[in-house]
């Protein structure tokens, strides 16, 4: 039996506030800009908005460095604007999910200012402070060899009290000490309850696996031959108390509201995933795993990229969703977000841009789990042009990586060649590609703003924008609108169904079944056929039965052949 819930049925649309829509002509997106598009989102088929951090912040990591949980970054708007957004969504039968960033705060947060002020301050152990290690030359060194996600050591030395503090991300993102119950209770009050009491319907929980650190703080094995550090998720996803902390947060706060939580864990075992999101565990409702978005990447280093292949992609799709089958757990379907490049560039093909974007829509809308789409994905916004230089990239992850790379190899005779290779990878996988302003129309700055925006608009805004696609029945936007309707129409198969790949070894096609009872039974199934290649391929009927075509991304469907990047959904009885 299927247990339907609003957060399983939903299509969730992620908004990156800085780049979505500028309503007051200061070049920065804002909450009033979001409010002005609610009918557009409703009409697209969006049920819930996930709004990335809009709290007060120095913006070093674009809002994932929060200086006051109970506030709004002034350039985005006010607490009243947030209430208008919440009410505007609820009046349309829609909902709002915010971003919960509680592994760390900004170094500008009042808590950290107190904590760093002296070793005896009552908030000293609200963060993770350690004395330096003294090396054989008598020099101060970090307490261990942990590496940051944003390059360099995971420890920042603080002159005032002559100690290091832990920062798994930027030096201005000090990790909170979750071992301290006062920290946890303060977070439950000001990061969670404050917003739940204003009608927020849930949270996307940032770095949900990192809060519990092994308190021995031992060195970890260095895994890359060039002796670079590895990021925290290779050793802090297995913190001894992580499930205890999530159970406490659920029982003390989340369980008291009709809300949902989705944890950004990224990498973990199947057992851990089931502990995080089985209903009976009482931790979180669903999980973001990075299997699909990291196909071809070297684990732990976004910019060490080995290239895409379809077989790995099929395995990643299956492992990200099928682990919940036969359990009371739930998962997510996504292929873009603010940390990922544009899917049509990464997994599609610029020469078949619209067709491959629609193919990705067929894939995403036929997979089991809660579906997330990212702003601009619905109109097939692409990565930034390869011609743009490193100066156009603003994301701390990209900028730090480039500078560290230049420090390391800048004097090499073949640096120009090495730099070109790195720019090729940055041009494919940097987080900046999803953070350029949304292209609303062909007017100046893509209709995002009336002045030059904080981040350069992609050069192709005249060809790719919402306005030109709204009226075009053959546009990617209208294809997504239909795909979302088809997903709901056959939700028992497409949202809640089981999954079986039929062509694992095929290097060009990705074909699978979605079904309710078992693949052999005569009950209706969805039969999804996707050609992820530039070649026409033979259409094979892997199963018997009456085939009814319900959606495809080409107008003339040929019985024998799939054209390049053609996809089809059949219901087979």
Provide the CA 455 distance to its chain's centre, in angstroms.
20
Residue among 284 and 322 whose Cβ is closer to ligand TEU: 284
Residue 259 CB, shortest distance to ligand TEU, in Å, is 20
Residue 22 binds what, of ligand TEU, Ca ion, none (CB under 5 to 8 Å, by partner type)? Answer: Ca ion
d(CA 460, CA 385): 9
- Which of 26, 114, 189, 312 contacts Ca ion by CB under 5 A? 26
Point out the catalytic residue in the list 60, 61, 175, 264. Answer: 264
DSSP structural state of residue 147: B
**Residue 264 bears catalytic tag:** yes
Pairing of β 48-51 and β 11-15: parallel
Does residue number 30 form part of the binding site for Ca ion (CB under 5 A)?
Answer: yes
Could you tell me if 125 and 165 are in contact, meaning their C-beta atoms sit under 8 angstroms apart? no
Instruction: Write the interaction track for ligand TEU spanning residues 329-348; mark x where CB under 6 A is met and - where it is not.
Output: ---------xx---------
- What residues contact 364, with CB distance under 8 A and at least 6 apart? 333, 334, 335, 371, 373, 483
Point out the catalytic residue in the list 61, 65, 81, 206. Answer: 206
Residue whose C-beta lies closest to ligand TEU: 64
564 token code pair? 């390049």
Nearest partner of 169 among 229, 90, 80, 254, judged by Cα: 229
Put residue 29 in one of left, alpha, beta given phi > 0 → left and psi -120 to 50 → alpha: beta
Residue 30 binds what, of Ca ion, ligand TEU, none (CB under 5 to 8 Å, by partner type)? Answer: Ca ion
482 token code pair? 């239909």
Instruction: Write the interaction track for ligand TEU spanning residues 101-130; mark x where CB under 6 A is met and - where it is not.
Output: x-----------------------------
Does residue number 24 form part of the binding site for Ca ion (CB under 5 A)?
Answer: yes
Taking residue 423's Cβ as centre, other Cβ atoms within 10 Å add up to: 17
Residues in 65-84 at the binding interface with ligand TEU, rule: CB under 6 A: none
Residue among 27 and 376 whose Cβ is closer to Ca ion: 27
Residue 477 CB, shortest distance to ligand TEU, in Å, is 26
- Residue 281 buriedness (CB in 10 A; 0-12 / 13-18 / 19+): middle
End-to-end CA gap in the chain: 20
Write the CA distances from 223 to 220, 226, 238, 418, 437, integer angstroms.
Answer: 9, 9, 17, 21, 37
What is the DSSP secondary-structure string of 324-387?
GTTSSB--EE-S--TTS--HHHHTS-GGGHHHHHHHHHHHHTTSSSEEEEETTGGGT--PPPTT
Residues in 143-182 at the binding interface with ligand TEU, rule: CB under 6 A: 149, 169
What is the DSSP secondary-structure string of 428-486?
HH-GGGG-SPP--SSSGGGGS-SS--SSPPPGGGGTS-HHHHHS-TTSHHHHHHHHHHH
Residue among 262 and 357 whose Cβ is closer to ligand TEU: 262
Size of the site for ligand TEU (CB under 6 A): 16
- What residues contact 508, with CB distance under 8 A and at least 6 apart? 310, 531, 532, 533, 535, 537
- Residue 76 buriedness (CB in 10 A; 0-12 / 13-18 / 19+): buried
Residues in 180-219 at the binding interface with ligand TEU, rule: CB under 6 A: 206-207
d(CA 552, CA 512): 15
d(CA 465, CA 359): 19
Residue among 298 and 444 whose Cβ is closer to ligand TEU: 298
Residue among 266 and 369 whose Cβ is closer to ligand TEU: 266
Stretch that binds Ca ion, among 24-32, 188-196, 305-313, 334-342 (CB under 5 A): 24-32
Residue among 28 and 86 whose Cβ is closer to Ca ion: 28
Taking residue 387's Cβ as centre, other Cβ atoms within 10 Å add up to: 8
Does residue number 321 form part of the binding site for ligand TEU (CB under 6 A)?
Answer: no
Does residue number 302 form part of the binding site for ligand TEU (CB under 6 A)?
Answer: yes
Residue 169 binds what, of Ca ion, ligand TEU, none (CB under 5 to 8 Å, by partner type)? Answer: ligand TEU
- Which of 7, 10, 20, 22 contacts Ca ion by CB under 5 A? 22
Residue 168 CB, shortest distance to ligand TEU, in Å, is 8
Residue among 208 and 380 whose Cβ is closer to ligand TEU: 208
- Which of 17, 266, 497, 567 contacts ligand TEU by CB under 6 A? 266
114 token code pair? 């107190």
Buried b / exposed e across 9-21, counting CB within 10 Å, b at 16+? bbbbbbbbbbbbb
Instruction: Write the interaction track for ligand TEU spanning residues 226-265; mark x where CB under 6 A is met and - where it is not.
Output: -----x-x------------------------------x-
Residue among 264 and 566 whose Cβ is closer to ligand TEU: 264
304 token code pair? 């060490």
Residue among 431 and 481 whose Cβ is closer to ligand TEU: 431
Stretch that binds Ca ion, among 21-29, 171-179, 219-227, 401-409 (CB under 5 A): 21-29
Does residue number 28 form part of the binding site for Ca ion (CB under 5 A)?
Answer: yes
Q: Would you name the residues annotated as active-site residues?
A: 206, 264
* Residue ranges binding ligand TEU (CB under 6 A): 61, 64, 101, 149, 169, 206-207, 231, 233, 264, 266, 302, 338-339, 397, 431
* Residue ranges binding Ca ion (CB under 5 A): 22, 24, 26, 28, 30
């Amino acid at each position: 039996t299927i247990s339907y819930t609003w957060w399983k049925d939903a299509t969730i649309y992620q908004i990156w506030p800085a780049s979505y829509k500028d309503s007051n002509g200061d070049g920065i997106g804002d909450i009033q800009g979001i409010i002005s598009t609610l009918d557009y989102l409703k009409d697209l088929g969006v049920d819930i908005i996930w709004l990335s951090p809009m709290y007060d912040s120095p913006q070093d990591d674009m809002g994932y460095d929060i200086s006051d949980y109970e506030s709004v970054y002034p350039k985005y708007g006010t607490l009243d604007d947030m209430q208008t957004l919440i009410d505007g969504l609820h009046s349309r039968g829609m909902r709002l999910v915010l971003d919960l960033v509680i592994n760390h705060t900004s170094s500008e947060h009042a808590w950290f200012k107190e904590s760093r002020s002296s070793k005896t301050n009552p908030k000293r152990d609200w963060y993770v402070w350690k004395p330096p290690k003294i090396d054989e030359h008598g020099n101060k060194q970090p307490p261990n060899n942990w590496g940051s996600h944003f390059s360099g050591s995971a420890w920042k030395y603080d002159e005032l009290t002559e100690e290091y503090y832990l920062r798994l991300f930027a030096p201005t993102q000090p990790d909170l000490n979750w071992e301290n119950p006062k920290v946890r209770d303060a977070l439950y009050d000001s990061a969670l309850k404050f917003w739940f009491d204003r009608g927020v319907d849930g949270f996307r929980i940032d770095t949900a696996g990192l809060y519990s650190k092994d308190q021995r703080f031992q060195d970890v094995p260095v895994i890359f031959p060039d002796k670079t550090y590895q990021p925290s998720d290779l050793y802090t996803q297995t913190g001894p108390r992580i499930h205890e902390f999530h159970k406490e947060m659920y029982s003390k706060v989340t369980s008291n509201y009709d809300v949902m939580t989705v944890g950004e864990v990224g990498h973990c075992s199947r057992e851990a995933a089931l502990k995080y999101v089985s209903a009976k565990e009482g931790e979180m409702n669903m999980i973001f795993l990075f299997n699909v978005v990291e196909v071809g990447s070297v684990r732990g280093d976004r910019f060490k990229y080995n290239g895409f292949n379809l077989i790995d992609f099929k395995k990643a799709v299956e492992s990200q969703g099928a682990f919940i089958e036969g359990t009371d757990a739930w998962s997510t379907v996504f292929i873009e977000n603010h940390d990922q490049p544009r899917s049509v560039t990464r997994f599609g093909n610029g020469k078949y841009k619209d067709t491959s974007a629609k193919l990705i829509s067929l894939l995403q809308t036929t997979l089991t789990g809660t579906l997330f789409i990212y702003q601009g994905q619905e109109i097939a916004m692409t990565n930034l042009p390869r011609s743009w230089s490193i100066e156009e990239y603003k994301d701390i992850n990209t900028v730090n990586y480039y500078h560290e790379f230049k420090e390391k190899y800048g004097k090499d005779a073949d640096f120009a060649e090495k730099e070109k290779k790195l720019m090729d990878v940055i041009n494919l996988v940097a987080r900046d590609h999803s953070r350029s302003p949304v292209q609303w129309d062909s007017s100046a700055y893509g209709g995002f703003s009336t002045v030059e925006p904080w981040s350069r608009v992609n050069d192709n805004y005249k060809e790719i924008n919402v306005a030109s696609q709204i009226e075009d029945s053959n546009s990617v936007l209208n294809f997504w609108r239909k795909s979302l309707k088809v997903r709901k129409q056959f939700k028992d198969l497409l949202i809640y169904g089981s999954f079986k790949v039929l062509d694992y070894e095929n290097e060009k096609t990705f074909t699978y079944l979605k079904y309710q009872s078992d693949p052999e039974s005569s009950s209706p199934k969805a039969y999804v056929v996707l050609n992820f290649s530039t070649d026409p391929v033979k259409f094979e009927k892997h199963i018997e039965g009456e085939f009814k075509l319900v959606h495809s991304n080409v107008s003339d469907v040929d019985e024998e052949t799939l054209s390049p990047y053609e996809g089809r959904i059949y219901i087979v009885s």
